[in-house]
Structure 1
Amino acid sequence: MTTITTRTVSYPADGLTMIGHLALPAGAGLRPAVLVGPEGVGLSDVERGRAEALAELGYVALAFDLHGGRYFDDPEEMLARCMPLLADPDRMRDIGHAALDVLRAEPRADPDRIAAVGYGTGGAIALELGRDGVDLRAIGTVNGLITGRPGEAARIRCPVWAGVGSEDPIMPPAQREAFTTEMREAGVDWRLVVYGGALHAFHHPPVDHAAPPGVGHHPRHAQRAWQDIVGLLTECLPLAG
């Protein structure tokens, strides 16, 4: 099995000291790199594990932080933190850019070959980086189908893949339609996969604290969504070349 290395990285963003998780593949030399954004509850072992899985494939990966090291297991606290954030594209971009700067500063990361993927709030941040014109090779978002300010999606310079559960009450059909309309009108190369029978955060393993209504794990679709993200990276951010 490939040996990877990991380390914690601290950096300022949104008035907080963020604590990210950097995973490096074995070997030496530049490698393509991936930002991994967490759900609104905050960075957890799930996203750290995703970064490590990407490093095992050969990518430099940074699972970035949203809340200054905090994890919100209380849904009301999480919403009080995330709803204003999701309503403020500039704050989301600042958080994304701060993480992107950390990733670009890593000597193993190729600054010209970077993708951004994320879940929920982290996926919304990945999209905002695209709307801000960042030179990304791919954007992937699960559950985070947040529309942006009018016209700014035209700045997206890479393919966008989005995944959502068909029964997700937080990203209902009207939200999915608004997202696809935005992508279509902007001329973006986009895909949307609707996973039948899945709720919000279907990719996330069960948690040991109260979850908001409409949230639930779907093991088969979780694996399928991960395979789809890996496929996106294989297409848009190949490890060779």
Structure 2
Amino acid sequence: MTTISTRTVEYPADGLTMIGHLALPSGTGRRPAVLLGPEGMGLSDVERRRADALAELGYTVLAFDLHGGRYLSDPEEMLARCLPLLADPDRMRGIGHAALDVLRAEPRTDPDRIAAVGYGTGGAVGLELGRDGVGLRAIGTVNALTTGRPGEAAHIRCPVWAGVGSEDPIMPPAQRNAFTAEMQAAGVDWRLTVYGGALHAFHHPPVDHPVVPGVGHHPQHARRAWRDVVDLLAECLPTPGPGHVARPDGSAPAPKADVPSDGGSKSGS
């Protein structure tokens, strides 16, 4: 397995002290980088494992924080913070820019080769960075088909890939249609993958705390969504690698066709 290093980074954003997880690939040179956003519950070991897995592929990765080092396992508390956040593009951009500054300041990061990948609220943050005109190489989102202010999607200058479950009540067909219409009208190079039979947060392993209605794990589609994320990065942000994909749970690498879903006990919505 490729040797990586990790460390915790603290930085200010949204009036809080954020605590992110930085994962660095082996070697000493600059590498393409990924800004990795968590579900609405906040940064957990699931995102940390994903960051580590991408670092094994040769990327510098910052899994960023949403809630000042807190993981909001109470759905009502999570919604009370995330719904106003999702309704405020400037706040989301502030959180995204603060994390992006940390990632760009890392000496191992090639500042001209950065992608944003996010889940739920973290994916919405990545989209807002694109709408704000940040020069990203790719944007990938799962469960985050959020639309922006009129006309601002025209500022997105990179391919956008989005994944969603067909049975997701939080991102229903009407929301999918609004998102794709926005991307199409803006001339964005966009793709949407609908995973048949999957609910919201289908990519996330089962959890041991309450979740909002409509959330459910789908192991097969979780594996497919991870492969789709890695394929997006391979297309838009290629990096030399060993020809296989690291497992997000930190176990031995597997052939690309056999990428497993993450393990873990925390989930966002």
Q: Tell me the residue number matched to 1:190.
A: 190
Q: Does 1:78 align with 2:81?
A: no
Q: Does 1:181 align with 2:181?
A: yes
Higher relative contact order (CA 8 A, sep 6+): 2
> What are the ranges of 5 or more consecutive residues in structure 1 without an aligned counterpart?
none
Distance 2:103 2:153 in 1: 24
Distance 2:204 2:44 in 1: 10
Write the deviation string for residues 139-177 of structure 1: whole angstroms up to 9, x where unpaired: 000001110000000000000000000000000000000
Q: Does 1:158 align with 2:158?
A: yes
Q: Does 1:46 align with 2:46?
A: yes
Distance 1:65 1:95 in 2: 8
Q: Tell me the residue number matched to 1:132.
A: 132
Using the TM superposition, give the Cα deviation of residue 184 of structure 1 relative to its aligned residue in structure 2, in angstroms: 0.3
Distance 1:90 1:212 in 2: 26
Using the TM superposition, give the Cα deviation of residue 123 of structure 1 relative to its aligned residue in structure 2, in angstroms: 0.2
Count of residues in correspondence between the two structures: 240
Distance 2:144 2:46 in 1: 17
Using the TM superposition, give the Cα deviation of residue 28 of structure 1 relative to its aligned residue in structure 2, in angstroms: 1.1
Q: Tell me the residue number matched to 2:172.
A: 172
Using the TM superposition, give the Cα deviation of residue 106 of structure 1 relative to its aligned residue in structure 2, in angstroms: 0.2
Q: Tell me the residue number matched to 1:109.
A: 109
Using the TM superposition, give the Cα deviation of residue 60 of structure 1 relative to its aligned residue in structure 2, in angstroms: 0.2
Q: Does 1:31 align with 2:34?
A: no
Q: Tell me the residue number matched to 2:20.
A: 20
Letter in 2 for 1:25: P
Distance 2:183 2:208 in 1: 36
Using the TM superposition, give the Cα deviation of residue 85 of structure 1 relative to its aligned residue in structure 2, in angstroms: 0.1
Distance 1:16 1:204 in 2: 26
Letter in 2 for 1:204: H
SS in 1 for 2:212: coil
Distance 1:164 1:152 in 2: 22
Letter in 2 for 1:38: P
Q: Tell me the residue number matched to 2:142.
A: 142
Distance 1:158 1:50 in 2: 22
Q: Tell me the residue number matched to 2:248.
A: none
Q: Does 1:239 align with 2:232?
A: no
Letter in 2 for 1:74: D
> What are the ranges of 5 or more consecutive residues in structure 2 without an aligned counterpart?
241-269
Letter in 1 for 2:148: G
Over the residues paired in the alignment, what is the CA RMSD in angstroms? 0.5
Distance 2:136 2:212 in 1: 33
Q: TM-score, normalised by structure 2?
A: 0.89
Where has structure 1 moved over 3 Å in runs of 4 or more? none
Distance 1:46 1:128 in 2: 23
Using the TM superposition, give the Cα deviation of residue 179 of structure 1 relative to its aligned residue in structure 2, in angstroms: 0.1
Distance 1:106 1:223 in 2: 30
SS in 2 for 1:225: helix
SS in 1 for 2:23: strand
Distance 1:218 1:134 in 2: 33
Distance 2:148 2:48 in 1: 27
Using the TM superposition, give the Cα deviation of residue 188 of structure 1 relative to its aligned residue in structure 2, in angstroms: 0.1
Matches within 5 A, 1:3-14: 3-14=3-14
Using the TM superposition, give the Cα deviation of residue 211 of structure 1 relative to its aligned residue in structure 2, in angstroms: 1.1
Write the deviation string for residues 67-89 of structure 1: whole angstroms up to 9, x where unpaired: 00011110000000000000000
Distance 2:42 2:233 in 1: 24
Letter in 1 for 2:49: G
Letter in 2 for 1:139: I
Distance 1:124 1:144 in 2: 6
